Structure 1
Amino acid sequence: MLPVRKISSAAATLALLTTPLVATAPATAAPAPPAAQAAAGLPEWLRPPVLPIEIGADGFAIPGPDPRRTGVVSFRIGTPDPAGYYWGIGRARDGITYERVQELERLSSSPDPAVSVPALRALYAAVEYCGGAGTFGGQAPITATMLLEPGDYQATARTAAISPDPNAQVFLDSLRVARRPDIALPPRVDAVIRMVEDSAGRTTYALPERLPAHGTYLFVNETSQPHEAVFGGVGPTTTDEDVAAYFAAVRAGQRPPPVFLSRVGGLMAISPGRWLALTVDFTPGRYSVQSFYRNPDTGVGRAYEGMHRVVDLY
């Protein structure tokens, strides 16, 4: 393996603070609910505020106050819709308007690589992706804990339907963060999942082979582009090679047998240098984690270039 990119100082500080707090329960102990795990060991005044985000047919609303204080905040994201939603929050960088972001998103979807690839690079540079979660009806809400710095943020919710209506509404809400600090700490974490990149620009995940199905994962993006971590259920004997073969066949225009058996959501995109703690309550089993965010040099989704890892949740 070639050397990976260096982690940012802010993310490194957080990783150093949280890694010694990785939860280790006795082998015979029943897992505590994720919310209890996340809050364990922190007095009430140090726990981040939890904002419930319920996404329905009429959209969602971010609870007040608005503006909020600068600091760590948790969004508990859920929906009754079995088709699910992808909810994420981010902000345009200084001098970039929301209209410009929309234009870059449109251009980055062009079938002409001469148009889409430069627009994709510009889009990644124009937006700071702060994360979020995919959520599905009938499953427990997922809590995304992140650091919000002063500025104006835009949250979006898009349908996660496999064959979405091209005219399906994208729900929006905004949030302002003021220059008044709040004192709160991130939750205790059960595992660290790093998004890493080697000197040749290849990206992958550095993560344990096994993760608790009920707990909190700290994601850190050490690559040069935004990445997500979408969990999909696979068969008990499925390997990374099987997943790679599936993506290679799809990329070649074939219709291989499905490798994914279920969808449970996961992390929405975070920009380089950012972190996010995701508290989940998944069903134990084998999953593949992947990022479909496109390579800004090739325009190809990173999952098709190897950005996936099989992991067992226990």
Structure 2
Amino acid sequence: MVEKNVSRITMIHLLGLQTPHIITFLIFFLFLLIYCVTICGNLLIILLVSYSKSLHSPMYFFLTQLSVSDILLVTDILPNTLHAVLMKGIIISFSNCISQFYFFSVSEGLECFLLTVMCYDRYVAICKPLHYTLLMNFQLCWMMIITCWVLSLLEGLILTLTVSQLDFCGPNIVNHFFCDLDPILQLSCSDTANILLEMTLMTIINVLIPFFTIIISYVYIIITIFKIPSITGRQKVFSTCSSHLTVVCIYYGSMVCVYLVPHRGESWGITKFLSLMYTVVTPLMNPIIYSLRNKDLKEAVAKIINHCLHSHFSK
């Protein structure tokens, strides 16, 4: 039997990104800019969908929930990251580290479920257009959103409670810029077999099932698109789901790479970079991709600007 250290970890030392000193302030202002743009961009989408009646449809309703998830994720990750960049590391309490892991788990799980729900919406719209209004009704949309939130909150709670019951007896150094599961487990002197099994089951439910559901849905979508006789018609239909497909590729591509890359030695630098992709870059890109590639959102922005200008000059 392994004898455990009686002293329990109370503080966690996050090493952060460990950037060269000469570019510290550049990296800090870059991340600060990303944080501001991400918050403003996602809030803009929420306001646009709430303000414009033409955007009161299931697709944009799900998009607002994705924006809420992105705001939750970057607010959980980036403030501590900014601090760690300036101070070349950051010391936080163990309870704050566990709290960060909980909100990270919730937002990541929510993102996976929402992308799946949005894919189903595009599947019905393209493959079953005559039944779209009947299938994607107001009650079903709310049921799907509530289910996404409940599953994400429960998954995060189960994982966090299991992690918090482990014994952590040092060292207290985490070679990452946030409290992810693998770095936390490396601090534990308990048997982590149960939580690894639990994590595997959660990954199947949260990542693999949604991922394969999205793939199967897009197979049917692509088959339906190729059945459209005109090239113009194909392009028009494909444009309605191209934004979602782009976000899925960025998000799942980086997540899959993180769990395939070995977490030892110099590979931590690669792991941190890939983690940045789905914790920082994806929330930033979501509103940009949907705004630039969506005609309805651009028209809604134009209407609001015209309304503001008309109100200003009419005074």
What's the TM-score once normalised by structure 2's chain length?
0.22
What's the TM-score once normalised by structure 1's chain length?
0.22
Query: Quick one: higher RCO (CA 8 Å, sep 6+), 1 or 2?
Result: 2
* Structure (1 or 2) with the greater helix fraction: 2
Larger radius of gyration: 2
